[in-house]
Structure 1
Amino acid sequence: MMARTIPFSRNPQAARARHSKTLLLPLPRAEADKLSLQVHIALDAMRRGQGNVSAAQTLCQVMIVTGLLAEVGYGCATFEQMQRAEQVLSAAFDRGRDTGTWLLDDEGFEEFATILATYDGQLRRAPLAAIANASEKLKRFRAGESFAEINRKRV
């Protein structure tokens, strides 16, 4: 005898309800771990002076998403912390562009290790809707919108 699948209603309202419930849950642990691992690899490469523009961009994106999620109550990140991290990355981008060496000094590494610890916690606790919203804001920022414009619009 073959096992029967659970019949899900094809009703659009039921589908929307399931989707809404999913958005209230955190990312599945395996997906959160996969995202986290990519970022930790980028940080390690930058610490060892073996980074590249892609690793620096990854850290930049995570810094922004971490700040956006903290802004809406998931994790703690201060404006000053984000400013210091931005300065660290700006110096890394300048050094990488000018010399071909993509790295973070010890202080820069510690700054980003703290941000990544916050990001890891956010991935495990923040609902998928909050992560998706922060990711959409990052996408719009990368497309050229200012954060002031992004925050005025609902995502």
Structure 2
Amino acid sequence: MARTIPFARTNQAARARRSKTMPLPMPRAEVDRVCLQVHVALDAMRRGMGNVNAAQTLCQVMILTGLLAEAGYGDATFEQMRVAESVVSAAFDRGRDSNLWGLDDDGFRQIAAIVATYDYQMQLAPLAAIAEASDRLERFRAGESFDQLLRKRA
């Protein structure tokens, strides 16, 4: 019986494999899985059947979309992001106050445009750019302001 060729399990080998995949886009199956979660959250919020997790998903997508657009992947205007932020903020306020987690028609259209850009970015952007944007989002969630993040980049 033929034996499989074992992959080297050293840190150096893992770094080498990672460095070869980081300039490539995310595999299509993974893009589909990630984007499906976002579309499920968007649909739940559109139908008024969302929850805090759906709203958080849309908020994170909004931020990641802005960060990836800033890095040169996809188009998202400052005005588009400002409006989307107010839509998501209003959804959080409404959900917290009345436990009704949803988006009105206009809010849905605004966030749907962001989600469409996000879908495009996930197909186009290399893993390195997505990882960097995700890392920046995690640092922001941990309490660092975007000003602090920008200073660290400089």
With the length of structure 2 as denominator, give the TM-score of the two structures: 0.92
Unpaired runs of at least 5, structure 2: none
* Equivalence for 2:67: 68
1:143 aligned partner = 142
Q: Distance in 2 between matches of 1:17 and 1:29?
A: 22
- Alignment-derived partner of residue 17 in structure 2: 18
C-alpha distance in structure 2 between counterparts of 1:52 and 1:19, whole Å: 36
SS class of match (2:33): helix
Read off the aligned partner of 2:132 and give its amino acid letter. N
Paired position in structure 2 for 1:122: 121
The residue identity in structure 1 corresponding to 2:96 is: R
RMSD: 1.6
Aligned match of 2:29: 30
Q: Offset at 1:10?
A: 6.6
Q: Which amino acid aligns with 2:150?
A: N
Deviation at 1:138, TM superposition (A): 0.4
- What CA deviation, in whole Å up to 9, does each residue of 1:24-79 have, x standing for no partner? 11111111111100000000000000011111010000000000000010000011
For 1:45, the equivalent position in structure 2 comes to 44
**Secondary structure, aligned partner of 2:22:** helix
Cα offset, 1:19, TM superposition: 1.8
User: For residues 43 and 68 of structure 2, what CA distance do their matches in structure 1 show?
Assistant: 23
SS in 2 for 1:102: coil
Aligned to 1:49, the other structure's residue is in SS state: coil
Q: Distance in 2 between matches of 1:85 and 1:26?
A: 26
Instruction: Kindly report which structure 2 residues correspond to 1:72-111, keeping only aligned pairs within 5 A, or say none.
Output: 72-111=71-110
2 CA distance for matches of 1:148 and 1:9?
A: 41
TM-score by length of 1: 0.91
Q: Does 124-133 or 15-24 show the bigger shift?
A: 15-24
Deviation at 1:113, TM superposition (A): 0.8
Q: Which residue identity is paired with 1:150?
A: L
Structure 2 counterpart SS, 1:24:
coil
Unaligned runs of 5+ in 1: none
Distance 2:122 2:59 in 1: 17
What amino acid does structure 1 have at the position aligned with 2:15? R
Summarize deviations over 1:88-113 as a string: whole Å, max 9, x none.
11111111111111110011101111
Deviation of 1:16 after TM superposition, in Å, equals 3.2
- Counterparts of 2:6 and 2:90, CA distance in 1: 56
Number of aligned residue pairs: 153
**How far did residue 18 of structure 1 move?**
2.5
2:97 partner letter: D
